[in-house]
Amino acid sequence: MTADLSTQYMGLQLPHPIVAAACPLTGELDMLRRLEDAGVAAVVLPSLFEEQIEHDEMENHRFRETHANAFAEAMTFFPDMDEYNSGLDKYLDHIRAAKSAVSTPVIASLNGSTPGGWVRYATQLQEAGADALELNVYLVANDVHQTADDTERHYVELVQSLKEAISIPLSVKIGPYFSSLPNISARLFAAGANGLAIFNRYLYPDINLDTLEFTTELTLTTSDDLRMPLRWIGILRGELPDASLAATSGVNTTSDIVKLLLAGADVTMIAGVLYKKGPEVVSELIAGLRVWLEEREYKSVRQLKGSMCAGFTAYRAAYARANYMEMLVNFAAPDVLRSSQ
C-alpha cells in the first residue's frame, strides 16, 4: 500500500509536507530548480525587509525630512542588506523569475515590525505572482512603556492592513515569547491570517571581549531545537483544530518531520538542513517519511496529523507542566559527580 503524503496549507494543495523555509538559498534560481528536482512541496523566498521598502520609497520620493530618524536608521542598516537582497524591484523580479523557473507554489516573505505605509507593497508581491505571503514579525519590545497588549495589537494591525492589501493567503511567522500563545494565535486568525509559521527564530547579540564589539553569528539549528515548536504546535492544534500550522526550527531529519506531524503541523519548513546537506536532502526526507508511514501501516499523512496533539486528554499533560515536572524528577546527575564524593 502506498501512503498518501499529501497535505494542505492555507488552501494550497501540496504533495507532501516538506517546504523550503525563507532563506537566501531560495533567492537563487539554480537552488530553486534543484529544490524542485528534489521534489520540494513549496518554497518560501528570503524576506524583503520593511526597512528596504521604506529605504526605496524614501529614495524615490525624497521624503527625508518627515522620516529623518527612520531614514538614518535605514541608511546605517543598508550596506549589509544590499548583500542579502537588494530592494523591492529586485525582489519583484525574483518572484517573477521564480514563478517561471519552478512550478511549486512560491511564498513571498515580508519581514517587518510596524504597521505602516510599507505594507501597501504587499500588493506588488501578489501581482508579481506570489502564491501566498508569509509575514515575519520580528519585533523586539524594548521600551518599558510598551505593554504586552500594545505589542500584540501591533501584530493584529499588521495582519489587518496586509489583508486589506492582498487576496492571496497570508501566514504569520511569529516567535514563541507571548504570555498566551493560544490567545494571540486565535486573534491573528480572527484578524484574517490564514496560517501561522511556528517559530520565527530570534537571533541574539553576543559581545566580543577582545574588541568590545557586538558580534552576530547565525548558528544552524539541530533536532533539539524542535521541541519548542513541537510543544506549541501540539497545543495550538488542540485549541484550533482547523488552523493551518507550519513548523519551523529544528527540522533536520525524517523523525523530526514525523514528530511535528503527530503534534499537528500541516507542513514542516527546512532551512538549516538545506545548508548542511544541499537541496537534494528533500528527496531523502520524502522517502524517509514514506517508509516511516508504510512500515507502520499509516494510510496517509492526514491520518498521522495531529493524532498526538494536546486536544486528546491522554496527551494534554505531556504538553504542559506535568511534562516539566517529570523531566526534572527523571534527570539523572552524571555518575562522575557521585564518584568524586
Ligand X SMILES: Cc1cc2nc3c(=O)[nH]c(=O)nc-3n(C[C@H](O)[C@H](O)[C@H](O)COP(=O)(O)O)c2cc1C
Report in angstroms the alpha-carbon separations of 37 from 41, 202, 283, 291: 11, 31, 9, 20
Q: Does 135 bind ligand X (CB under 6 A)?
A: no
Q: Is 268 in the site for ligand X (CB under 6 A)?
A: no
Write the burial class of residue 209 (CB in 10 Å: 0-12 exposed, 13-18 middle, 19+ buried): exposed
Is 201 a binding residue for ligand X by CB under 6 A? The answer is yes
**Which residues, numbered 96-125, are part of the site for ligand X (CB under 6 A)?**
109, 111
Instruction: Name the residue with cell 529544490.
Output: 35
Quick count: other Cβ atoms within 10 Å of Cβ 147?
11
Binding of residue 261 to ligand X (CB under 6 A): no
Query: Is position 267 an interface residue for ligand X (rule: CB under 6 A)?
Result: no
- One of 112, 234, 264, 272 touching ligand X (CB under 6 A): 272
Q: Count of residues binding ligand X (CB under 6 A)?
A: 23
| Those residues with Cβ within 8 angstroms of residue 276's Cβ, 6 or more apart along the chain or in another chain | 220, 252
Quick check: 271 binds ligand X (CB under 6 A)?
yes
CB 87 within 8 A of CB 52: yes
CB of 93 to ligand X, least distance (A): 17
Of 96-104, 220-228, 280-288, 326-334, the window that binds ligand X (rule: CB under 6 A) is: 220-228
Cα dihedral sign, 24-29-30-31: positive
Q: Is 21 in the site for ligand X (CB under 6 A)?
A: yes
Interacting stretch for ligand X, rule CB under 6 A, among 2-10, 144-152, 161-169, 270-278? 270-278
Residue 47 CB, nearest distance to ligand X (Å)? 3
CA distance 274 to 28: 13
DSSP string across 73-95: HHHHHHHHHHHH--HHHHHHHHH
Q: What are phi and psi of 220, to 5 degrees?
A: -80, 155
**CB 182 → ligand X: shortest distance, Å?**
21
94 binds ligand X (CB under 6 A): no
Query: How far apart are CB 168 and ligand X at their closest, in Å?
Result: 17
Q: Are 176 and 201 in contact (CB under 8 A)?
A: no
Give the nearer residue to ligand X in terms of CB position, either 12 or 21: 21
How many alpha carbons lie under 13 Å from residue 232 in its C-beta half-sphere?
26
SS3 210: coil
Q: Would you count residue 87 as binding ligand X (CB under 6 A)?
A: no
- What would the x/- binding string for ligand X be over residues 23 to 52, using CB under 6 A? xx---------------------xx-----
Interface residues toward ligand X, by CB under 6 A: 21-24, 46-47, 109, 111, 136, 173, 201, 218, 220-221, 225, 248-251, 270-273
